[in-house]
Amino acid sequence: MDLPSQDQSARNPVRALAEKLAASLGGPDAPYRAQRTFTATMMHLMASLLQAASDADPAVQNEVLGFPEGLVIGMSVLGDTPQMRLRKTGSRLVRLASSDPAKPNLAIIFKHLTHAFLVLSFQESTARSFANDRMITQGDVALAMRLVRCLNRMEAVTLPKLVAERALKAYPDLPLAEKLSLSVRTYAYLLRDVWRNR
C-alpha cells in the first residue's frame, strides 16, 4: 500500500483543516501537555493524601506497618516528568521532595503519559490498567499488592462514592458515618501538612 506523501496530504483539504484546527488549539501535542499538567498535579495530590491517610486511617496504618523501614515507593511515567515518591518512616508514609535523590525500591511505572492520565482521571481503574498491561511494576510483588491496598483504601475514604466506584474494582463496605469521619481526619492531616510545608 502506498503511503500519502507530504505533498499529497497537504493537498487533502480535510487533513489540512484538521491540522489548522489543532494548530489553533495549541498544536497536536496540546492534549498531551494538558495531560502532563493534570497527571503531575494528581500525583502530587495522591502522595499527599497517602501521607495524610497513613496518619489518619488505622486500616492504612496497618498496611504501612508491613512495609520495610526506609522503603521508597514511587509512581512515575516512563520517559516523562510526572512522578511521586514516598518513604516509609515508622508507621507513616512521608512524601519526598523533588530535590530528594532517593530512588524507589518499589515502583509503578506507566508506559505512557496517557495511561497515567486514564487512571488518575478515573476513566480506568487501577486493576483494569494493570490488566491492560499499561504499567510496569518494579520490586517485590507482595509489597506492590500492599501498596494497591493502601491506594484503594485511601481512594474509598477520600473520594465521593460515585467517583471511587470508577477507580476501584469494588467499593468496600464502608458505612457513611465512618467514611465521613475518616475523610475529614485525612483532609485535616493533608491541610496540616500543607501548612507545615508552606
Q: Which residues bind other proteins (CB under 8 A)?
A: 118, 123-124, 127-128, 130-133, 136-139, 141-142, 144-146, 148-149, 168-170, 172
Cβ(71)–Cβ(94) below 8 Å? no
186: nearest Cα among 90, 62, 50, 84:
50
55 versus 63: smaller Cβ distance to other proteins? 63
138 versus 181: smaller Cβ distance to other proteins? 138
36 versus 146: smaller Cβ distance to other proteins? 146
Q: Which amino acid is at 174?
A: L
71 versus 118: smaller Cβ distance to other proteins? 118
> How far apart, in whole angstroms, are the C-alpha atoms of residue 151 and residue 44?
14
> How far apart, in whole angstroms, are the C-alpha atoms of residue 187 and residue 171?
20
130 versus 187: smaller Cβ distance to other proteins? 130
Least distance from C-beta 133 to other proteins, angstroms? Answer: 6
Q: Which amino acid is at 61?
A: Q
Contacts of 108 (CB under 8 A, 6+ apart): 74, 75, 76, 135, 136, 137, 144, 147
- Pinpoint the alpha helices (H) of 57-197: 58-64, 113-120, 126-131, 141-158, 161-167, 176-196
Least distance from C-beta 83 to other proteins, angstroms? Answer: 18
